[in-house]
Amino acid sequence: MQLHLKIWRQPSVDQLGQLRTYTLATAHPDMSFLEMLDVLNEQLIHAGEDPVEFDHDCREGICGSCGLMINGKAHGGKQETATCQLYLRHFQDGDTITVEPWRAQAFPVVKDLVVDRTALDRIMVAGGYISVKTGSAPEANALPVPKPQADQAFDYAACIGCGACVAACPNASASLFTAAKVAHLSLLPQGHPERKARVLAMTEQMATEGFGDCSNHGECQAVCPKGISIDAIARLRREYLMAQF
Ligand code: FES
């Protein structure tokens, strides 16, 4: 199949970028979106051009490294699918596909399609951890966790920190990311010692990094590759209020 790709090219954070158009005649419906970019890069290298920079690691929807705006939608808009799990069979021969990096004040473009997402790491550093005593691992049955609570915590823990929620949100809010981490840890007994300090510190760090606030658009939930519900944000709000009083 033949694809026409309009790809954001930007040499560095302090230089202007633009969409450049490339035609790829050797795409195959069974290729993943990232494999298609690999083939394009081989074509560019053979032509003596600079290959397109893009982030990836596991290519299995686990690590959260990949993240592209594809035709204006985070991860391409296919439900619960990360960019690396998106296949060309969802496109038509002759399609024109626009590929851009995440757009958010807190995610400066490093080069082409790569953005700096360390702002999410700093939110985690602010409170996304639990304290444990050193020594041997405690007996697992000594800390019983009810099954429904464990399941819910696991659903929130599925967040891979890709940043799609930020890219899709009209406020560029990291509320779903922060809420997933806060909700996951607040549901488990291991997370209780730092429960109040955690939600206050992570929420404050989110604002410090330049992310907007949530105004319930729900775009984050729609593009989350792990299907994390916006209910997490309601839980974040409750945790925040309880911590303040
Ligand atoms: Fe790891 Fe896509 S490359 S989630």
Domain boundary among 82, 111, 140: 111
Residue 37 Cβ contacting ligand 1 at under 6 Å: no
What's the chain's average pLDDT? 95
8 Å CB contact between 182 and 152: no
Domain that residue 180 falls in: 117-244
Please give the distance, rounded to the nearest whole angstrom, from the Cα atom of residue 61 to the centre of ligand 1: 4
Q: What is the pLDDT of residue 110?
A: 97
Residue 57 Cβ contacting ligand 1 at under 6 Å: yes
**Percentage of residues in the chain having pLDDT higher than 90:** 93
8 Å CB contact between 136 and 179: no
Asked whether the predicted pLDDT for residue 34 surpasses 90, the reply is: yes
224 and 136 housed in the same domain? yes
Nearest CA residue ID for atom 4, ligand 1:
61
- Which ranges constitute the DSSP H helices of 61-194? 118-127, 147-157, 164-168, 175-186
Please give the distance, rounded to the nearest whole angstrom, from the Cα atom of residue 160 to the centre of ligand 1: 9
Q: Name the helix (H) or strand (E) containing 114.
A: strand 114-115
151 and 218 housed in the same domain? yes
Asked whether the predicted pLDDT for residue 133 surpasses 90, the reply is: no
CA 195 to chain centre: 24
8 and 78 housed in the same domain? yes
Domain boundary among 96, 111, 126: 111
198 and 81 housed in the same domain? no
34 and 149 housed in the same domain? no
Across residues 69-77, what is the average pLDDT? 96
Q: What are the residues whose beta carbons fall under 8 Å from the beta carbon of 230, sequence distance 6 or more?
A: 176, 216, 218, 220, 221
Please give the distance, rounded to the nearest whole angstrom, from the Cα atom of residue 101 to the centre of ligand 1: 15
Q: What is the pLDDT of residue 161?
A: 97
Residue 201: strand, helix, or coil: helix
Structure token digits, residue 100: 């851009």
DSSP 223: H
183 and 99 housed in the same domain? no
DSSP bridge partners of 21: 6
User: 200: burial class by Cβ within 10 Å (0-12, 13-18, 19+)?
Assistant: middle
Q: What is the residue whose two structure tokens read 């083939």?
A: 39
**What confidence tens digit (pLDDT) does each residue in 138-160 have?**
787 888 899 999 999 999 999 99
* CATH number reported for the structural domain that contains residue 66 in this entry: 3.10.20.30
Q: What are the residues whose beta carbons fall under 8 Å from the beta carbon of 149, sequence distance 6 or more?
A: 187, 188
Q: What is the number of structural domains in the chain?
A: 2
Please give the distance, rounded to the nearest whole angstrom, from the Cα atom of residue 81 to the centre of ligand 1: 10
DSSP 136: S
222 and 139 housed in the same domain? yes
Stronger pLDDT, 131 or 65, i.e. the higher one:
65
Residue 34 Cβ contacting ligand 1 at under 6 Å: no
85 and 106 housed in the same domain? yes
Please give the distance, rounded to the nearest whole angstrom, from the Cα atom of residue 198 to the centre of ligand 1: 27
Atom of ligand 1 nearest to the CA of 58: 1
8 Å CB contact between 106 and 211: yes
Across residues 88-99, what is the average pLDDT? 97
Distance (Å, rounded) from C-alpha 170 to C-alpha 211?
11
Asked whether the predicted pLDDT for residue 238 surpasses 90, the reply is: yes
Q: What is the pLDDT of residue 132?
A: 80
**What confidence tens digit (pLDDT) does each residue in 166-210 have?**
999 999 999 999 999 999 999 999 899 999 999 999 999 999 999
